[in-house]
Amino acid sequence: MPDTKGFFTDTTLCIGCKACEVACKQWNQLPDDGFLFTGMSYDNTIHLGASTWRHVAFIERPAPLTPQHDGAFSWLFSSDVCKHCARAGCLESCPTGAIIRNEYGAVYVQPDVCNGCGYCIVNCPFGVIDRREEDGRAWKCTLCYDRLRSDLIPACAKSCPTESIHFGNLEDLTKMAKDRVQELHEKGMTEAYLYGATEEDQPGTEGLHAFFLLVDKPEAYNLPPDPVVPTKKVGDAWRTMGATAAGMLLAGLASVFFGGRTRTS
């Protein structure tokens, strides 16, 4: 879809300022959170949820042990968000039709239709969507749907001071991201790669509409290395069950036939 919109987040440009978190909460009037001591360094909101639609992760990792850097550590920062998967488990599992794909290609939860069943939560391979305790309904990033309809970009991308978060047409973002990876490789940062930019590198979700440039393994960013929409395996499960049932039927018929012959003889 040429008009599909999405995010490209370049984690090498993120400085952990949390401007995107604040702008998201302010624009969408989300409930406050993150005021309790978590023990998670500076990461006060910890993860995405019903009241945190953008989450800036602070990732501490040991620096290479050298005489100059003995015992030191380095930081990775990453602004996480709903991936608006090309094949979305939340959408496929919703029994009420509350979750749709809108005209911008975004996965959108209609709060007036959601009945709070929670099927979407267990079918999201990224653990993004969640229910709000106050009303029991499921909530997540809307891609600032109201802003898009007014020809404005999402609040998080608008507020990012380093342009770590890019918003636009998915095809344009993918080209931009590939050029950025090549640029970093030429500068010696050969560990840079794209996560979720195409169906080929994310077959379990058929690609993400919010993808990332990373410099460490996905697990370091609390991202699954091989996310798979649970409903993608339903066909295999049915085929396995059918084959098992057929095998049991054949075994039953064989026991009746050969058992009868043995008694007769």
**From CA 35, how far away is CA 72, in angstroms rounded?**
28
Q: How far apart are CA 265 and CA 262, in angstroms?
A: 5
Q: Which two tokens stand for residue 183?
A: 């640029």
Mean pLDDT by 10 residues, the chain (265 residues): 87 96 97 73 85 93 63 85 97 97 97 96 96 94 97 98 97 97 97 96 94 96 94 55 62 63 52
| Domains of the chain by residue range | 5-228, 232-265
The pLDDT assigned to 2 comes to: 56
Q: What pLDDT, on a 0 to 100 scale, did the predictor assign at position 238? A: 40
Residues with Cβ within 8 Å of 149's Cβ and at least 6 positions away in sequence, in order, are none
Tokens, residue 138? 């499921």
pTM exceeding 0.85: no
pLDDT at 41: 65
Sign of CA dihedral 14, 15, 21, 22: negative
> What pLDDT, on a 0 to 100 scale, did the predictor assign at position 45?
86
Predicted local distance difference test score (pLDDT) of residue 242: 55
Q: 38 and 142 in contact (C-beta within 8 Å)? A: no
**Topology annotation, domain 5-228:** Alpha-Beta Plaits (3.30.70)
Three-state DSSP class for residue 181: helix
Q: Could you tell me if 202 and 208 are in contact, meaning their C-beta atoms sit under 8 angstroms apart?
A: yes
At residue 237, the pLDDT reads 46
